[in-house]
Structure formats: structure tokens, C-alpha cells
Structure 1
Amino acid sequence: MELEEILSELENNTGKFPRLALEKATEERSAITPVLLTALENFSNHPEELLEKNEYILHIYALYLLAQFREPLAYPLIVKCFSAPGDITLDVTGDVVTGDLGRILASVSHGNIEPIKQLIENEEINEYVRSAALEALLVLVAEEVITREQVIQYYAELFSKKDREEYNYTWTKLVIHSTQLCAIELKSQIDRAFEEELVEPFFIGQEDVNNSLELGIEVALNKLRSNSRYSFIEDVILEMKNWACFQQSRINQLDTSFISSEEITSWTTKKSKNQAKNKKKMQTESRRKNRSKKK
């Protein structure tokens, strides 16, 4: 299979998983890497253009393949791709942000966490992107690239910000990840975040935090290392083969008599944004109930 044929298979989603093309892409790593980097560069410069290409998926394969290749040149491009404000990155990457973006960032970072910090601290970008960047730090701890102490020290800086934002999902993830690291050192900061209602109790409560902290640091780190969610991207085929957009039979189960072909092809890419909206709705309802109990 020649490079042009591989790219032809990977450019658009036909509903069928291109296993052979991905196998060949891995074998042709040197030849295909520049093309994948160009795909990410186009994504980073003109994400809005991808909104008009419902079937285009090469940028998604690029994210996973370059993560598998541990390609350092992909790192700044990926950071730029996901630094766009608003929901556009969710719109053009489907479930990638809430699924594997943290692992992708960690896979290409080679231990340089400064660009990851830039994403975390950028209040202009999507809160789920920022949360994925937080998760990337846990991947690097689990893979023993950076230490738990490095992350705890950085989390302490985030907790002590003078200009503290109002509630958003990033604060909740900061508390969750601190708990996963058994951050006993940050207990007072975590308690303060709950007191200021910066944390969504729908996802984690103070009792959950206390119970987790009692387990101890070594138990927490072992749990982290054994969880595949906190691992590098190793095999793009294993990562993507079961995605809903490749399960044609699942799409066929839909009543498509009143659905256009464009709506069908965009179905999976819109799912992540809908999930994010549902999460926000649940968060709002939970916070409202929580406040009413206090009154």
C-alpha cells in the first residue's frame, strides 16, 4: 500500500475502520509523519474550516498516530490546536477532548510540562480542554516521567491563585486529581475549594476526598499506574477500533427516514459537545439543590 493510498483511506470516515491503512501508516512512520504534522498545522490555523467537512477525519488519526510515535514536533501543534476559545475544538474532534486528549498530550510531551500548564491556566479556552491538560499530568506521573511531588507543588500554586474564578469543571477536576494523588498536603486547599463552592459535588464530595486520602500515597499511585486511562497512547488500532463512528450497524439502527446524510455523518462528532452540555446541566441542577439545603 503506497503512501497516497494510505492517506486516501485515512482522509475521510466511510463508516468502516481502516485497520490495514493504519497498520501501513505505522510501518511508514518516517514518510507519513510530515503529512500528519501538516494536518495538525491546518487544524491549528483554521479549525473553523473543519466544521464544513463532516466526513474529514485525518486530523484525528494524526493526533493518535503522532502520540503513538511520541513525535515531539506534534506537541506545540497540538497545544495550539486546542488553545482555540469556545467549543470549536470539541466540535471538530468529537470525543477526543473528554476521552484521550490528556494521554495524547502526555505522549508527545517528553516530560516538558510547561505547554500543558499553559493550557491549564488559559481561562479563554474550553474548560474540558483545560481539564484534559490537568489529566495529562497524572499520565506523566503514572508513567513515571515526572514525580508526584512536582504535580502536588504545581497544584498548590493553582489552589492559591489570588484571582479565583467562579465555578467551572476545571476546579472539580483539580480536586479529583489531587485526591487521586492522595494529596494530603493540599487538604486545607481542597476544603477551601468546597467551602467556596468551586467544586461540583455531583462528581466528588468531601467524604469521597476523605476516604481516598485515608488509603495512603502508595495505594493511590498503584491505582493510578494500573488504570489504562493514565497511560501513553501505544496502539492507535486498539484505541480507535471500537469507536461508534466505525460501527455501521449501530448507525443503521437509527431511523434515518427523516435524517439527511449530512446529519448522519456529523452524528458522532456532535456527541461530545452534547455530553458536555448535559454535564453542565447536571452540575447546575446539583449546585441548585446543594444551595437550597444550606438555606
Structure 2
Amino acid sequence: MVETAAPRVLVVDDDDNLREVMTLILEQGGFQVKSAWDVNSALGLIGCQTFDVLISDLHMPSAGDGLTVVGAMRHSNPKAVTIIFSAYPEMKEAAAAILAQTDDIIVKPEAIGDLVRLIREKLEKGKTAPRVLASVATILEESSQTTIENWLSRVLRDDLVITVRLEDSLRTAHLPQLIRDLVFRLRNPQPLGSRALISSAAAEHGVARRVQGYTAAMMVEESRMLQVSIFQTLQNNLNRVNFSLVLVGVMEIADEVDSQLAQAMTSYVAQSKVDALPITA
């Protein structure tokens, strides 16, 4: 009879005592255990070894660190059972998005004694169909119309911006191309802070806003609300976003929106010189 190798478990927690206790419990339960004390050490192990199970703290020390580890495990070991645990009991009630990324969430330390049973149950059931996670670019592309509608609803509630009366189609005319530019940037990342790609649409938008009677402050406020609407779109899609890519994506979005605003403002100022009107702050 061929012996089945003991399942390999990776435990990730920055609490040395708790990590050692979990390692001991799991080894006594018949598992092979490796442990990591932070995200970087966990990513190093995931990159060079294969695991059947991941058990990770959610906060190490930053909120969501555990989801970064889960994302890496999903990529490198897609068949692995992944379990997140947290010191906060309310996480059970607020875990819908997290459970979309992982197989279970438990509260420590009360549930630590049930680890062996929980893992064996998960392994016996086998992996369900892999969750299809989407990139930030894909979510933004698929939800572009929803994002635009969210932005427009914010703008129409802003007492300053709506002093310029425009049809909705004119107010939102620049957004489809801007979102396409964002998606392109996310799929073809540039070093943050590098010289922005020239956007003729951004320049045209600056001229249009000048002609329409916008002030510079209105343009800045619209840009701010656009970032809020984009981040709301990501928030609404937490159940499918790839958490390991979210932080980089958010920084790329902020950088690109700011770059396009700068280009629009440049053409806005240039247009003000052409029409010989003062620049209105």
C-alpha cells in the first residue's frame, strides 16, 4: 500500500506565539507545516514550494495583508485550500467580499482548536470550481457606463459645478475616452510619476470646459469625483477583483487621472489666452 503524503500547510501570522501554537497543532494533526511571519516571507515560500492549504492572518500588520497572500497562492497554487483568520469577531458578518477570495474565515483564538477538523473537511470536499478573478482593468472596462452614471449623479448634486448648465451628454462627453485611456494604462503600466502619455482627448476636454464656462476649481472637483466613482466601482466588485493587484491598480488610476487633469488644465489655460478672458479660479 502506497502511503499518501501528508498535506502541506503554510501558516502566515506575525504573532510569533500564535504561529508556533498553530504549527504545533497542525503537525500533531498529521500535516507538514511551513510558517511565515510576514507577507514577503510568505510570498517567497509560495513562489518556490507547493502547498495544499494556506492559513493566513488578515492583518500583518496592515489591513488586507492576508488577501495579498491569498491572491499569490491562488495564482501559484490554484488548487490549495485557503483560510483567512482574524482577531475581530465582526469579520464573520462583514466577510462577503473576503469569502469570495478564500474558502473560509475563522475568528482567532477561539477557532484555532478546530483547525485540524476544518482543514480535513475542506480537503475531503475537494476544491470547488476555481473563482474567476478579474483585473482592475477588466472591472473598470466592463463597468464603464455604471462608473459614468455614478460620476454624473455626484456632479449633479454639487452646487458649484451645476451652476454651469449642460446637457448630460455634454457633461460626460470626455469620460468614455478617459476610461479607455485608464484601461490602456492599467494593461500597459508606466512607472509612477513618469511623463504621462499625451492625450489629445484630455486637451480637447480642457478647451471644451473653458468654452462651456467652467472654472479651474470646477474641473478639479470633477476630477476628484471621478476618482471617487472609480473606487466605488472597485468597491462594488470586491467579490471578483484580484486583491493582489488592487494597490498597484489604484495608484495607476490616481496617477493617470491626475495626469489627464494636468493636460486638460494646460489646454484650458491656453484657450483662456486665445479668448482673452481672465483665468477663473
Q: TM-score range by the shorter chain?
A: under 0.3
Higher relative contact order (CA 8 A, sep 6+): 1
Q: When the two structures are superposed, what TM-score results if normalisation uses the length of structure 1?
A: 0.26
Greater fraction of residues in helix:
1
